[in-house]
């Protein structure tokens, strides 16, 4: 056997040595899958004598591709400066980089120049805005990003503009089709491609030109793909075409970590691999090198509840390790304080560095309470894959409105809000207003009033159409100024957010708009702390200014990373805190009525737990001030899917004997929150009643689980909140809380 693979375990060796025919390497978290794939590339070239240019290795990120290429060159004993253009270096890259290389050589067959340019997000947005103007599509009714999102989804399914036009049905799809056709035409005229075109055009090129397809089928004799569970339909089709002749397709992945369905990834690609390739060899990489056995067991107990999955039995030579910590906090402030205190304690006890810890959450809006607690505790942190809360555009925009209400001489705040949302007020008009304001002791609101009420605004160099918009702005800010003396800060924010048109603007931005809306609602949570303050607005602005100006990153490399669970994939830390383990957050409320989305939420939880090497903390609250309101919480169903023996249960001291949370009033409020509350333009089913702590006991098998929706013959649709040996406790929107006998109750799963 080759000395090259001496350092691999037996299953990794099997993956490397199985070089011929289709191969599926099912690799669990921390099992060394990328290592096995890298050695397989080197083995084919060094030991089997395959020409490097007959080997193709594909992954998803430039970073992963760069690391793989560097390691391959080391194994092949090639100089570090050797490039992919060298005959001794195999084809290693992302899907997009490989396809760009192909298109540079062949795209003239599609009527494009080989020197085509690739438009980035900003280029695409600018083009779409122009397309919408020229086709008469209102950007107020439909946002350019929404149309670009629909086009992107179509292209990832190999649907071009003409095919989309043929399949469109709804008014929105009809509008997208009109813009799609014009957008595609404009791109071609500019000899430009957008990011999604790269794979779409490569597939189209090969479908329409058999000679080109044959050329690359001959070239790529051995194809290897990392993170196969993340492939979309276009990527799947491309791989199937290229591998058809030699049939040497080796894919590596973990269906348990398929968490990108929202951006087009299809977990069925890996689940159906054996259907696509009946003679496929299956290799299981089940030995974990990262985590303790307790962490692996907990993660497995969660993922095992998914029906749509491949079975693996993850194990490790590491010891059982610490129990997982399950912490019940009173609220999000208590949650954040627990995390900071625990990090400081473990850092001292275990000699860890700050970057040995990670805080993971489902949505970016959850970072705000954590950020404030970390700042107060003096713990440096960094938001990964996102901005700090007070740096997010929508937060800064709303705050700018408040700063202007507080001080109408604030030029910076004024310049930010005068055309946000769009009012057709350009830079020249802003300059004229500021210039007039300087003649009125700097008061910009007085300047706007003078222009708006003038018999002829042209005397100020401002056309009547813009004066009309300025009149509306003056009325908005005048009313807000009056309201600032009688309303709470939160009420003032709600008024400005609604009356300015900002809420309506975000409502048109689809998924991104929802995320931004949630951040504005989270700002309300901060504002409510000043409801009873005598100088509420002033005190609020003073606090957010101090908080937002604190920069823990300056000169500091050792920081605690904050990130969403999606961003955490592929990373590892000594100790991990998963916060917000509550129904409505994790799993997200959008998954409640969709089984496939619920399975993806469960995979997301699995990814979070398996980031931990030594210690995993799962944290949930009894109440949460989020999205601008206080909600009663119920712990995530994923916690209940883990055997109690794997947990060290800890409680906030204030929680232990608080009878308030067990009152009927709170239960009723929770039911109202779940079934009836509409927050802005998003309906969010959230948790509804605190479940009293019970003595730990062995979990009982049942056909029904807490948190499941059921339909009763008399009471309609409700949700199971708890159960014991004999009864289910179910809340119904019309009938309230009902106890129903097991085995007798006339209801079924929804």
Q: Which of 38, 175, 257, 363 is labelled catalytic? A: 257
* CA distances from residue 477 to 230, 418, 484 in whole angstroms, order as listed: 48, 10, 10
Q: Is 82 in contact with 249 (CB distance < 8 Å)?
A: no
Tell me the CB-side half-sphere exposure of residue 183, using CA atoms within 13 A.
Answer: 31
360: β partners: 563, 578
Q: Which of 106, 194, 227, 509 is labelled catalytic? A: 227
The sign of the torsion formed by the CA atoms of 378, 382, 388, 391 equals positive
Find the angle CA(202)-CA(204)-CA(210) to the nearest 5 degrees: 95
The strand pair at 560-564 and 381-383 is best described as parallel
Q: Which of 34, 59, 363, 610 is labelled catalytic? A: 34
Place of tokens 């491309």: 238
717: β partners: 711
Nearest C-alpha neighbor of 23 from the set 31, 12, 8:
12
* CA distances from residue 277 to 37, 216, 223 in whole angstroms, order as listed: 20, 20, 14
* Residue 33: active-site member: yes
Q: What's 250's DSSP letter?
A: E
Phi first, then psi: what are they for 370, rounded to 5°? -65, -45
Give me the sheet containing 709-712, strands edge to edge. 736-741, 727-732, 716-723, 709-712, 747-749
The encoded tokens of residue 151 equal 């086009």
**How far is it, in rounded angstroms, from Cα 535 to Cα 349?**
44
Helix intervals (H) in 367-443 = 367-377, 393-406, 411-417, 427-438
**Helix axis angle, 393-406 relative to 510-527, nearest 10°?**
40
Nearest C-alpha neighbor of 264 from the set 169, 199, 326:
199
**How far is it, in rounded angstroms, from Cα 276 to Cα 269?**
9
The encoded tokens of residue 140 equal 């107020």
* Residue 611: active-site member: yes
- Element holding 224 (H helix, E strand): strand 222-225
Name 237's Cβ contacts closer than 8 Å, sequence gap at least 6: 158, 203
**How far is it, in rounded angstroms, from Cα 272 to Cα 267?**
9
**How far is it, in rounded angstroms, from Cα 249 to Cα 220?**
10
**How far is it, in rounded angstroms, from Cα 117 to Cα 88?**
29
The encoded tokens of residue 625 equal 């001030």
3-state helix, strand, coil in the chain (%, to 5): 50, 15, 35
Find the angle CA(128)-CA(134)-CA(140) to the nearest 5 degrees: 65
Asked whether the bond before 587 is cis by omega within 30 degrees of 0, the reply is yes
Asked whether the bond before 112 is cis by omega within 30 degrees of 0, the reply is no
**How far is it, in rounded angstroms, from Cα 240 to Cα 249?**
8
Q: Is 102 in contact with 216 (CB distance < 8 Å)?
A: yes
Helix intervals (H) in 272-318 = 273-276, 293-303
* Residue 227: active-site member: yes
Q: Which of 155, 388, 590, 611 is labelled catalytic? A: 611
Q: Which of 13, 33, 71, 528 is labelled catalytic? A: 33
Place of tokens 């706007």: 448
Q: Which positions are catalytic? A: 33-34, 226-227, 257, 611
């Amino acid at each position: 056997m080759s000395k090259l693979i001496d350092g691999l375990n037996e299953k990794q060796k099997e993956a490397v040595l199985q070089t011929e025919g289709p191969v599926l390497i099912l690799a669990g978290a921390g099992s060394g899958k990328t290592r096995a794939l890298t050695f397989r590339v080197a083995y084919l070239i060094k030991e089997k004598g395959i020409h490097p240019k007959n080997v193709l290795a594909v992954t998803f990120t430039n970073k992963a591709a760069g690391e793989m290429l560097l390691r391959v060159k080391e194994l092949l004993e090639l100089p570090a400066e050797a490039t992919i253009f060298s005959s001794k270096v195999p084809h290693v890259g992302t899907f997009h980089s490989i396809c760009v290389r192909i298109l540079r050589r062949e795209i003239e067959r599609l009527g494009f120049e080989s020197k085509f340019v690739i438009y980035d997000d900003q280029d695409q947005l600018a083009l779409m805005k122009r397309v919408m103007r020229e086709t008469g599509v209102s950007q107020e009714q439909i946002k350019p990003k929404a149309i670009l999102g629909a086009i992107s989804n179509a292209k990832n399914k190999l649907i071009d503009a003409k095919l989309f036009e043929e399949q469109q049905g709804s008014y929105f799809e009809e509008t997208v089709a009109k813009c799609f056709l014009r957008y595609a035409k404009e791109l071609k005229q500019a000899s430009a491609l957008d990011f999604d075109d790269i794979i779409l055009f490569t597939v189209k090129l090969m479908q329409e030109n058999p000679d080109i397809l044959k050329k690359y089928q001959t070239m790529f004799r051995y194809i290897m793909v990392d993170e196969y569970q993340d492939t979309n339909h276009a990527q799947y089709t491309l791989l199937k075409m290229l591998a058809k002749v030699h049939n040497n397709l080796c894919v590596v992945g973990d269906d348990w970590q398929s968490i990108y369905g929202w951006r087009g990834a299809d977990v069925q690609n890996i689940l159906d691999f054996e259907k696509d390739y009946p003679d496929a060899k299956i290799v299981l990489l089940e030995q974990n090198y990262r985590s303790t056995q307790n962490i692996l067991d907990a993660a497995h107990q969660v993922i095992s509840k998914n029906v749509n999955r491949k079975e693996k039995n993850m194990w490790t030579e590491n010891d059982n390790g610490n129990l997982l910590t399950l912490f019940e906090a009173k609220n999000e402030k208590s949650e954040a304080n627990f995390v900071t205190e625990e990090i400081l304690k473990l850092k001292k006890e275990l000699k860890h560095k700050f970057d040995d810890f990670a805080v993971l959450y489902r949505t970016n809006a959850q970072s705000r309470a954590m950020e404030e607690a970390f700042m107060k505790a003096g713990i440096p942190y960094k938001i990964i894959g996102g901005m700090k809360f007070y740096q997010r555009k929508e937060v800064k925009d709303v705050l700018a409105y408040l700063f202007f209400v507080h001080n109408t001489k604030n030029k910076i705040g004024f310049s930010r809000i005068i055309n946000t949302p769009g009012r057709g007020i350009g830079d020249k008009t802003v300059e004229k207003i500021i210039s007039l304001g300087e003649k009125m002791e700097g008061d910009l609101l007085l300047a706007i009033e003078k222009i708006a009420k003038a018999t002829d605004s042209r005397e100020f160099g401002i056309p009547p159409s813009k004066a009309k918009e300025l009149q509306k702005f003056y009325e908005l800010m005048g009313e807000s100024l009056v309201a600032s003396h009688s309303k709470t800060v939160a009420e003032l924010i709600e008024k400005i957010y609604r009356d300015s048109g900002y809420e309506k603007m975000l409502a048109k931005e689809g998924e991104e708009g929802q995320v931004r809306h949630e951040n504005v609602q989270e700002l309300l949570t901060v504002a409510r702390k000043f409801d009873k303050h005598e100088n509420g607005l002033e005190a609020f602005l003073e606090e957010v200014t101090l908080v937002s100006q604190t920069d823990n990153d300056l000169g500091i490399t050792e920081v605690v990373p904050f990130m969403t669970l999606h961003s955490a994939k592929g990373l590892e830390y000594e100790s991990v805190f998963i916060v917000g383990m509550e129904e409505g957050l994790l799993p997200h409320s959008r998954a409640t009525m969709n089984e496939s989305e619920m399975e993806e939420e469960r995979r997301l939880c699995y990814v979070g737990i398996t980031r931990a090497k030594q210690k995993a903390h799962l944290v949930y609250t009894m109440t949460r001030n989020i999205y601008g309101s206080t909600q009663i919480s119920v712990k995530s169903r994923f916690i209940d899917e883990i055997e109690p023996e794997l947990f060290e249960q800890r409680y906030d001291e204030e929680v232990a004997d608080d009878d308030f949370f067990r009152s009927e009033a709170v239960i009723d409020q929770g039911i109202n929150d779940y079934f009836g509350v509409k927050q802005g333009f998003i309906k969010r089913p959230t948790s509804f009643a605190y479940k009293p702590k019970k003595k730990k006991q062995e979990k009982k098998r049942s056909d029904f689980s807490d948190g499941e929706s059921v339909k009763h013959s008399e009471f309609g649709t409700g949700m199971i909140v708890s159960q014991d040996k004999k009864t289910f406790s179910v809340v119904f929107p019309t009938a309230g809380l009902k106890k129903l006998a097991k085995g007798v109750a006339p209801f079924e799963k929804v």
